[in-house]
Structure 1
Amino acid sequence: MTVLLLVTSCKDHNDNLVEERGTYVVPVLSEPSPGYFTDNLEKSYVQFDLSLPEGEKIDKAEIEVTHGDKSAILKEVSIPSTGVKVTATEVLNALKMPVSDYKLGETFNLYILTTKGGVVTRSVATFPIAVVCYFDPVMLLGSFEFKSDDWGVAGSVTMVADANDPYKIYIEGYPQAEGLTGNGNRITLNVNPSNFSITGPKVVLADNLAEWDLTYTNYAYEPVSGKYSACDDAYTVTFAISVAQGSFGNNVFTFKRGAK
């Protein structure tokens, strides 16, 4: 009887009632790019593609947004669709939120509702939209001061972009900042434009460490994790540092904007 009371007393207080959640027809939502809003309200939007599993059909699809205890149907959308765009202004208007409540650190949630045969499903195709500082790819470039308490080093480097990809960043001058001639290779940072996370390939920066009076060879750096913060105009990167003879483990570096 206790279980029965608990089950019957649980009700969905969402104004947009959903008869079945996470079942029936499940659309596929691509990784959004961008997947965030910024403190520049007028220029803020998220964009993504929508599709259905092969052979599936639906009667209707809608975009739902939520913030705290507020929710609203934003608009109807066809599936499949490419380049579906949701602006921050649309979200505020749908939720009837004042602009004064749109602040850094706030998070909105986006859901896809599908209807088929009278059954409405809130899909697992969903993602949170955080409000972050305004970002432009050019902010990734320029002179940066770096420091690592883990590795016990500090200096200056220059961030430059790949000619074909503004989110593929090369660190120029790092071996020289450590007192090495280097072999011409550069550390590569691959910045995810959706969330600013960072990874990269392992790169050998010096064939040997004779300049340090060490017999180690193949001095290499691999960016295993990291993030760029537009609010701080800084990178935080964890490098796995190694030589042919073994590993020095993971070491955290910060790269902060130098004098402009």
Structure 2
Amino acid sequence: MKKINILAFFFAFVLILASCEDTNENLVGYRGAAVVPEISDINPAFYTSDLANSFVAFKVALPEGENVDAAELQVTYKGQTTVLQQISSFPAEINIPATDVLQALSISENDVEIGDSFLVHVVTKSGELSSRSLAAMKILVTCEFNSELTTGAYSAVSSDWESAGDVTITADPEDPFKLYVDGFAEVDGLVSNGNKLQISIDPYSFKMTGVATVIADDVAPWDLPYTGFSYEPIGGLYNSCDGSFDLQIKITVDQGTFGTYNFTLTRK
């Protein structure tokens, strides 16, 4: 129950996958010998429905002291895998236009739908063992950002925090990616102090963060002696197609933390 789970642990939200794989050619005795490249600084991290003008960019590096004999980018889409380009040296700055992916896969824009995804691999090879390390990132095809879908009346639901109700979202007049949510205190059955929760959408990944905000001075309606009831968005993703928000919110009071809970905000 949310009124007594004061020391719950919070969850971590992770979008990027990095792993190590062995091919069928690997000898069992050489497993674990592959070099695992590191992907960082992904910006942007998705393609939009305007594929002709979409790209993703990121950096690839090898662990300090490691070397490889060859490296290449591969892409997988609906079970089909092909080589995108060679990587001649590390660290490398990678830019992949969606049009390059379509050409490599011999498909057209009409073959790709919103919600599809491409899996881009960074493959390295060392020696004659044919062992390979594999770092990968999933590139989602989503809608272009539309500021009109980020404001208005929303339904806020959290099954694990056991709350549901209506909130209102407004945008900063100078920055459409900075939003303010009003009504969370009332959703929890508390008396609002007038503060609105600030949420920021990263325009290059649609990930969300925010500012810890005291939205109720106390929890008197719960008949508990807690003060400084605060919400802090610490992760989540904005859906640019339907305007919904999947948020992870850390909930605290002056006396401690309730933990982190998942909230879904859906346009009404």
SS in 2 for 1:79: coil
Residue 104 of structure 2: aligned partner: 94
Of 153, 157, 178 in structure 1, the residue corresponding to residue 169 of structure 2 is 157
Contact 2:117-2:140 within 8 A present in 1 as well = yes
SS in 1 for 2:163: coil
Contact 1:225-1:238 within 8 A present in 2 as well = yes
Residue 48 of structure 1: aligned partner: 58
Q: Which has the higher contact order (CA 8 A, sep 6+)?
A: 2
Separation in structure 2 between the aligned mates of residue 88 and residue 236 of structure 1, nearest angstrom? 26
Contact 1:146-1:255 within 8 A present in 2 as well = yes
Of 12, 22, 25 in structure 1, the residue corresponding to residue 35 of structure 2 is 25
Contact 1:191-1:199 within 8 A present in 2 as well = yes
Of 67, 76, 80 in structure 1, the residue corresponding to residue 90 of structure 2 is 80
Of 133, 146, 149 in structure 1, the residue corresponding to residue 154 of structure 2 is 146
Structural mapping, 1:46-195, within 5 Å: 46-118=56-128, 120-135=130-145, 143-148=151-156, 150-160=162-172, 169-171=178-180, 173-174=182-183, 182=193, 185-191=195-201, 195=205
Q: Output the TM-score relative to the length of structure 1.
A: 0.69
1:64 Cα deviation (Å)?
1.1
Unaligned runs of 5+ in 2: 1-22
Cα distance 1:65–1:238, how it changes in 2: closer, same or farther (>3 A)?
closer
Q: Output the TM-score relative to the length of structure 2.
A: 0.67
Equivalent residue letter for 2:239: S
Separation in structure 2 between the aligned mates of residue 77 and residue 249 of structure 1, nearest angstrom? 40
Equivalent residue letter for 1:72: T
Residue 236 of structure 2: aligned partner: 226
Separation in structure 2 between the aligned mates of residue 251 and residue 124 of structure 1, nearest angstrom? 31
Aligned length: 237
Separation in structure 2 between the aligned mates of residue 228 and residue 48 of structure 1, nearest angstrom? 21
1:249 Cα deviation (Å)?
8.3
After TM superposition, the runs of 4+ consecutive aligned structure 1 residues lying more than 6 A away are 17-22, 175-179, 209-215
Separation in structure 2 between the aligned mates of residue 31 and residue 135 of structure 1, nearest angstrom? 21
Equivalent residue letter for 2:154: F
SS in 2 for 1:233: coil
1:119 Cα deviation (Å)?
5.1
Separation in structure 1 between the aligned mates of residue 205 and residue 83 of structure 2, nearest angstrom? 25
Cα distance 1:80–1:206, how it changes in 2: closer, same or farther (>3 A)?
same
C-alpha RMSD of matched pairs (Å): 4.1
Cα distance 1:243–1:50, how it changes in 2: closer, same or farther (>3 A)?
closer
Contact 1:224-1:240 within 8 A present in 2 as well = yes
Contact 1:170-1:186 within 8 A present in 2 as well = no
Cα distance 1:202–1:50, how it changes in 2: closer, same or farther (>3 A)?
same
Separation in structure 2 between the aligned mates of residue 159 and residue 24 of structure 1, nearest angstrom? 48
Separation in structure 1 between the aligned mates of residue 262 and residue 69 of structure 2, nearest angstrom? 53
> Of the two, which has the highest radius of gyration?
1
